[in-house]
Chain A
């Protein structure tokens, strides 16, 4: 089996419009959650979110592209350009034929859907723009990445709600690990911050109206974010032969299904995915130094996740660090695991652990080292990234420091 390394990373999210500014914000424990700004926001009960601000897509894309790119596709392309530029790869010939793009996404072009429903239902129009369908389809982002970079190998989109990106990256890992592809572009994106998107979430009554405070006893729910995280997964010998800079190694993964409840998480399902990722990567539990938690800031997730970590790691659970960066960049739903993988790379490569900000009161049911409020320096050999989705679909990735 081939070893798989990361040779490029890109992002745009509420913390920054690229990887450097995002990691700087994570190091400083900055919060990207603000008052939401979009049409009809005053009709929402929840009006905060980690929105990408200061973003002018019309300076980055031409008129034809703008008519085809929903916001989630725009985010994806911006992040993909950064990641692929960093990798230094160009795709042609046999290499292009075997390299593909697998992305995670949950809502698709929700802004496009929202705007066009408004137009036909509220405004009574009987005509919509001809590109509504190619703009809103969940695979639009993956397809546009394939077109812009000439990726002709296995390409598709994975939807598993909040675990979409981790499932996608696990698939991309498998493509490279198994030898089918020398390089895969992977990660995910989401853009649900529009009236209909937030209104739907409001209904579940799990959203916070003031802040995302994972693991804190006074947490009161999740806060949505938006953006993209894109990575270049490359076969190790291929990367080494061309002298590429390696950000981290993807050592393994596991997926599991709770087969229990459509929204409530299960400790057993989460624990099976965490344990499975360690086994797949042939890592001992006591080698893990950092876990980027799913850590949504809901009552249910955080205590279940901590219990699962305690079960898998035993006494080592008290020695490892686990933080939720959602406190800063919000919950990017189908794109969240991708942006969170950046925190794992920062831990492994830079020895800096991103904090859980907004932490105010210890919760006995979340009694782990959650790296409260301030980033920390530590040497980390192995990091895990957890994602546990609505629907009970779990995916955990295991990363090692670059070889």
Chain B
């Protein structure tokens, strides 16, 4: 599965935008995704890639999973998939 396209599709759906409106540099905040939307996006990512994303809404900055941009999310997913295979 193309991780990048799938993540952009998930984020765009959450933000009610077209995938073409979402870039690798986009932050979830800039796309208008709030804290509830973030938790929902992470759920969608876990379901789509069958992974478990370490994320606690109380300490988003402490998570090893970097949610600052679409690119960092993709990188995080790649890492989790690699860990799962290892």
Binding site for B on A (CB under 8 A): 45, 203-206, 208, 219-221, 262-264, 298-300
Given contacts A263-B36, A264-B35, contact A299 B43 (CB under 8 A): no
Report the Cα distance A32→B56, complex, angstroms. 23
Report the Cα distance A264→B62, complex, angstroms. 20
Report the Cα distance A299→B58, complex, angstroms. 5
Q: How far is the CB of A306 from chain B (nearest CB, A)?
A: 15
**What are the nearest 10 A-B pairs in CB distance?**
A299-B58, A221-B58, A205-B57, A220-B58, A206-B57, A220-B59, A205-B39, A298-B58, A220-B56, A205-B56
Q: How far is the CB of B13 from chain A (nearest CB, A)?
A: 18
- Decide if the interface of chain A is mainly helix, strand, loop or mixed: loop
**Option from A203, A220, A221, A298 in Cβ contact (under 8 Å) with B43:** A203
B80 within 8 A of partner (CB): no
Q: How far is the CB of B53 from chain A (nearest CB, A)?
A: 9
Q: How far is the CB of B33 from chain A (nearest CB, A)?
A: 14
**Option from B39, B55, B57 in Cβ contact (under 8 Å) with A299:** B57
Residue from B55, B56, B58, B62 whose CB has the most chain A CB atoms within 10 Å: B58
A205 touching B55 by the CB < 8 A rule?
A: yes
Q: How far is the CB of A59 from chain B (nearest CB, A)?
A: 40
Q: How far is the CB of B9 from chain A (nearest CB, A)?
A: 22
Report the Cα distance A205→B41, complex, angstroms. 12
Q: Which residues of B contact A221 (CB under 8 A)?
A: 56-58
Report the Cα distance A220→B39, complex, angstroms. 16
Q: How far is the CB of B46 from chain A (nearest CB, A)?
A: 10
B3 within 8 A of partner (CB): no
* A-B contacts at CB below 8 angstroms, number: 33
Report the Cα distance A219→B58, complex, angstroms. 8
Closest to B35 in A: A264
Binding site for A on B (CB under 8 A): 35-36, 39, 42-43, 52, 55-59, 62
Q: Which residues of A contact B58 (CB under 8 A)?
A: 206, 208, 219-221, 298-300
Q: How far is the CB of B82 from chain A (nearest CB, A)?
A: 21
Report the Cα distance A206→B36, complex, angstroms. 11
Closest to A264 in B: B35
9 contacts between A and B (CB under 8 A): A204-B57, A205-B39, A206-B56, A206-B57, A220-B59, A221-B58, A264-B35, A298-B58, A300-B58
Q: Which residues of B contact A264 (CB under 8 A)?
A: 35-36
Q: Which residues of A contact B35 (CB under 8 A)?
A: 264
Q: Which residues of B contact A220 (CB under 8 A)?
A: 56, 58-59, 62
Report the Cα distance A205→B59, complex, angstroms. 10
Q: How far is the CB of B31 from chain A (nearest CB, A)?
A: 19
Report the Cα distance A111→B82, complex, angstroms. 38
Q: How far is the CB of A204 from chain B (nearest CB, A)?
A: 7
Q: Which residues of B contact A206 (CB under 8 A)?
A: 56-58
Report the Cα distance A300→B58, complex, angstroms. 7
Report the Cα distance A121→B27, complex, angstroms. 41
Q: How far is the CB of A213 from chain B (nearest CB, A)?
A: 10
**Given A206-B56, A221-B56, A300-B58; 9 other pairs, CB 8 A cutoff:** A45-B52, A204-B57, A205-B57, A206-B58, A208-B56, A221-B58, A262-B36, A264-B35, A299-B59
Q: Which residues of B contact A204 (CB under 8 A)?
A: 39, 57
Q: How far is the CB of A84 from chain B (nearest CB, A)?
A: 40
Q: Which residues of B contact A262 (CB under 8 A)?
A: 36
Q: How far is the CB of A199 from chain B (nearest CB, A)?
A: 13
Residue from B52, B56, B59, B62 whose CB has the most chain A CB atoms within 10 Å: B56
Report the Cα distance A300→B55, complex, angstroms. 16
Q: Which residues of A contact B59 (CB under 8 A)?
A: 220, 299
Report the Cα distance A299→B59, complex, angstroms. 7
Q: Which residues of A contact B39 (CB under 8 A)?
A: 203-205
Report the Cα distance A206→B59, complex, angstroms. 9
Q: How far is the CB of A295 from chain B (nearest CB, A)?
A: 14
Q: Which residues of B contact A208 (CB under 8 A)?
A: 56, 58
Report the Cα distance A220→B59, complex, angstroms. 6
Report the Cα distance A153→B48, complex, angstroms. 54
